[in-house]
């Protein structure tokens, strides 16, 4: 099959980009795959990509940022979508042209605004799949209303958790749209598993408020007080960096807590630690949790909606603590820090339990979904074509019957006329 992904910006850093690259690379050995990046701001992507996957940008911000069309607001991309300010009349135009000329069997949108474009402008002969990488409840009412209006034109909608799939089925009216949970996949690490004896806690993600790294740093202060030989390393960049740096200095943790900056190849950093940590107030999936576990790190995480509870099995491969509970988080970290045997046991549990996010079963699920939808759509086209041919034959037959009846009537009239002469 020919499979195309619509991605906001393949040249940035983020979980949606990573999981799209992972899925595209897993599909490309058996399919023709391309990623259409709406925006581009640098020469090469931050993440490596299999050269067999075609990467095609639509708007290059390095040369087109000041294009008059890019200074006018978008009309198709929904205004309630939080990326709206980055879209414009130029992106509307490029996306519309791309979809109108796209030759694909399956087209996949990767965020609500692009799913709206896909629903309204996607090629009707292709299978149209919208992906949800956040959660339905995370979207403002205006965006949910727009999704409710146009999403019925999609063939399928996938979510990254079963909980969010259930929410879509319960709250949205999407007749005829197949809603299915399709978790993100994480390839097996190329490096040996982490050493459970390493005295390092690792966290990774954007330095933004929702990640609550301030809570993690404050909680780690208790660990550092009892075990000053341990470190906390936080990877990522973002608007919270200066505030977090000030907090580290205020708590006197400058010898224990380190802001490491962005690391596109996080695998090499996970394996240096022995515990993973996530303190988000909201996490639609939890890509970093799976990455850490695949490297053999048990993870201490807040039990936020929706992903962590579906990923972590408490007591087996990690711990779940209430959102915002600094004391519980510090207790859970310190328990793992002080118990070498427990940490080693959970390390093995993390390696085993995280295998369910291997690309193989998830790609099999994705291929099965795409194939079934493609066959249904092809069958519908065949029925429509057959119906059109039968209809044409019936019309033609009707013409023949009417013509024969008319000829018979004319013949009868001529016979009557001759007999009356």
Asked whether the beta carbons of 216 and 202 are under 8 A apart, the reply is no
Measured CA to CA, the distance from residue 206 to residue 240 in angstroms comes to 9
Asked whether the beta carbons of 22 and 187 are under 8 A apart, the reply is yes
- Res 394 pLDDT > 80: no
pLDDT at position 379, please?
80
pTM over 0.85: no
Residue 365 Cα distances to 113, 151, 237, 357, 390, angstroms: 25, 22, 34, 12, 37
Neighbour count for residue 102 (Cβ, 10 Å): 17
What top-level class would CATH report for the domain 2-181? alpha beta
- Res 382 pLDDT > 90: no
- Res 57 pLDDT > 50: yes
Measured CA to CA, the distance from residue 297 to residue 293 in angstroms comes to 5
Indicate the domain borders of the chain.
2-181, 200-353
- Average confidence (pLDDT) over 310-315: 96
- Res 89 pLDDT > 70: yes
- Average confidence (pLDDT) over 378-394: 57
pLDDT at position 209, please?
95
In 169-294, at which residue ranges do the beta strands (DSSP E only) sit? Answer: 178-181, 200-204, 231-235, 257-261, 275-278
Whether the domain at 2-181 and the domain at 200-353 fall into the same CATH topology:
yes
Q: What are the pLDDT digits (tens) for 164-200?
A: 999 999 999 899 999 999 999 888 999 999 999 999 9
Q: Which of 338, 350, 321 lies closest to 212 in space, CA to CA?
A: 321
Share of the chain above pLDDT 90, in %: 82
Determine the 3-state secondary structure of 233 from DSSP. strand
Q: Which residues contact 369 (CB under 8 A, 6 or more apart)?
A: 129, 156, 158, 178, 180, 182
Determine the 3-state secondary structure of 162 from DSSP. helix
Place of tokens 């039968």: 390
Measured CA to CA, the distance from residue 397 to residue 407 in angstroms comes to 15
pLDDT at position 385, please?
52
Query: Pairing relation of β-strands 318-321 and 275-278?
Result: unpaired
Q: What is the 3-state secondary structure (H, E, C) of 331-400?
A: HHHHHHHHCHHHHHHHHHHHHHHHHHHCHHHHHHHHHHHHHHHHHHHHHHHHHHHHHHHHHHHHHHHHHH
Determine the 3-state secondary structure of 159 from DSSP. strand
Q: What are the pLDDT digits (tens) for 255-309?
A: 999 999 988 789 999 999 999 999 999 888 889 999 999 999 999 999 998 889 9
Residue 224 Cα distances to 52, 257, 327, angstroms: 47, 9, 14
Q: Which of 216, 196, 195 lies closest to 204 in space, CA to CA?
A: 216
Res. 114 pLDDT band, cuts 50 70 90: very high
Asked whether the beta carbons of 350 and 196 are under 8 A apart, the reply is no
Asked whether the beta carbons of 75 and 53 are under 8 A apart, the reply is no
Residues in the chain: 421
- Res 391 pLDDT > 70: no
- Res 400 pLDDT > 50: no
> Is 3.40.50.2000 the CATH number for 200-353?
yes
Could you report how far apart the first and last alpha carbons of the chain are, in Å? 75
Place of tokens 């200074």: 71
Q: Which of 300, 312, 301, 306 lies closest to 282 in space, CA to CA?
A: 306
């Amino acid at each position: 099959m020919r499979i195309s992904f619509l991605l906001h910006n393949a040249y940035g850093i983020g979980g949606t980009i990573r999981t799209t690259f992972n899925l595209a690379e897993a599909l490309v050995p058996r399919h023709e795959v391309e990623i259409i990046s709406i925006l581009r701001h640098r020469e090469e992507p931050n993440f490596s990509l299999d050269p067999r996957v075609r990467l095609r940008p639509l708007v290059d911000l390095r040369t087109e940022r000041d294009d008059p069309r890019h200074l006018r607001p978008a009309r198709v991309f929904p205004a309630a979508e939080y990326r709206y300010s980055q879209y414009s009349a130029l992106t509307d135009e490029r996306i519309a042209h791309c979809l109108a000329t796209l030759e694909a069997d399956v087209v996949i949108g990767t965020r609500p605004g692009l799913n709206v474009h896909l629903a309204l402008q996607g090629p009707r002969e292709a299978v149209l799949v919208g992906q949800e990488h956040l959660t339905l409840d995370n979207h403002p009412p205006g965006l949910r209303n727009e999704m409710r209006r146009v999403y019925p034109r999609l063939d399928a909608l996938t979510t990254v958790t079963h909980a969010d799939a259930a929410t879509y089925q319960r709250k949205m009216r999407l007749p005829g749209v197949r809603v299915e949970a399709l978790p993100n996949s994480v390839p097996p690490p190329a490096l040996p598993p982490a050493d459970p004896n390493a005295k390092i806690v690792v966290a990774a993600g954007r330095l933004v408020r929702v990640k609550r790294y301030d809570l993690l740093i404050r909680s780690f202060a208790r660990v550092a007080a009892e075990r000053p030989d341990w470190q906390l390393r936080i990877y990522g960049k973002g608007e919270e960096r200066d505030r977090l740096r000030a907090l580290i200095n205020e708590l006197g943790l400058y010898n224990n807590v380190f802001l490491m900056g962005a690391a596109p190849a996080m695998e090499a950093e996970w394996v240096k630690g022995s515990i993973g940590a996530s303190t988000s107030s909201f996490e639609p999936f939890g890509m970093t949790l799976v990455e850490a576990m695949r490297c053999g790190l048990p993870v201490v995480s807040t039990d936020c909606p929706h992903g962590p509870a579906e990923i972590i099995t408490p007591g087996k491969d990690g711990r779940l603590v209430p959102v915002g509970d600094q004391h519980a988080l510090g207790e859970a970290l310190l328990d793992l820090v002080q118990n070498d045997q427990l940490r080693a046991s959970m390390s093995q549990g993390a390696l085993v339990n995280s295998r369910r996010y291997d690309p193989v079963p998830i790609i099999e699920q994705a291929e099965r979904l795409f194939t079934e939808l493609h066959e249904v759509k092809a069958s519908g086209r065949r029925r429509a074509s057959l119906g059109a041919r039968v209809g044409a034959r019936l019309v033609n037959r009707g013409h023949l019957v009417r013509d024969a009846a008319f000829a018979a009537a004319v013949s009868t009239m001529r016979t009557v006329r001759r007999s009356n002469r």
